[in-house]
Amino acid sequence: MKAINLTITGVVQGVGFRFSTLQLARKFNVTGFVANRLDGSVYIEAQGNSEDIEKFSAAIKQNPSPFAKIKRVVIKNQLTQDFSSFTIK
């Protein structure tokens, strides 16, 4: 099991980014959550097997929402948690 968190900056709120992230999480069997932050960024905690997490993070970097404009993606490893699904907060 691998767990990461991602912070995405740019034009990523109000453009369907969280919903697109939810779809990717389901596609790659990833659990966790995605949430908007007050500073305008989007924060994601994701866990799954290593291959699925790699595919998920690569897809996020490719910009899952056609209306978003990603400026930066910061990915950090983290401890695994007990997520049973992927949710939008």
DSSP 41: -
26 catalytic residue (yes or no)? no
Catalytic residue selected from 36, 49, 63, 77: 36
Give the number of other Cβ atoms within 10 Å of residue 7's Cβ: 16
Cβ atoms of 24 and 60 within 8 Å: the answer is yes
49 catalytic residue (yes or no)? no
Cβ atoms of 42 and 35 within 8 Å: the answer is yes
Catalytic residue selected from 5, 18, 49, 77: 18
What is the set of active-site residues?
A: 18, 36
